[in-house]
Structure 1
């Protein structure tokens, strides 16, 4: 979260935190289901579909919504999920799998949230571990993502145009 939240956005941050808490609870409550879906070679869409049950069906996030292009940039940002908080304000939610850190998907998602005039909050849902074929952990994306995304918050000199980023591990 930014070092200082503008007073006019404090209620919005509370609303985003409530959505984040629902997502955290969903991950906790469905951890066995997630473990059955997220195995070596799992399809990204299967993992995304699991989170769509909460984000789209229960919380009202749109799926694959094309966001307003940032002036001066050629971009058609289309996050996995988007929740409109108000006019020109929203939350991007991205579900990552194998390329979270190896292909820098986490940083691309943060960049997308930064460039989009529609979004000011990011929910990044990443694996605790990526698996090898033998079932052992290949890498641990959550720890890397938390450190990398955290670098853009907490000091006004490093901050970007995103009020908050919530990182969730599954």
Structure 2
């Protein structure tokens, strides 16, 4: 995964709405762990999104995914990179997926969901690694983080279920 380091690349991305979206409204330009910065930035809109009824939440996720495929695909072509580390819209969507089990859950569930998503996103177990290496364009940028988010959501749902039984 290459980063967006050249000033010309940054200018090209920031000159278009698709670049702003792909960069997570600038959070992906963090010099420190842009994926983690993007996941943290995703928590701000999530605070409002979590108030939606779950069907509306799922609709927003689908729309955000489609928007990410479009924006990340166009922006990646513009700078000539496959999946730049600065593109963090995929972290937004993956993080929102990971937090699905705790929309109305305990605060510790949010922290655990964040940690689990980052774990699966960095570790990239199968099929996350397959998606990261095999898919191209905007779908390739988005798919691995969606799979990491789904895996994190599954583990988080299990933990919340087990702990709320006690």
Q: Identify whether the pair has TM-score above 0.5, normalized to the shorter chain.
A: no
TM-score, reference length from structure 1: 0.30
Higher helix share: 2
TM-score, reference length from structure 2: 0.31
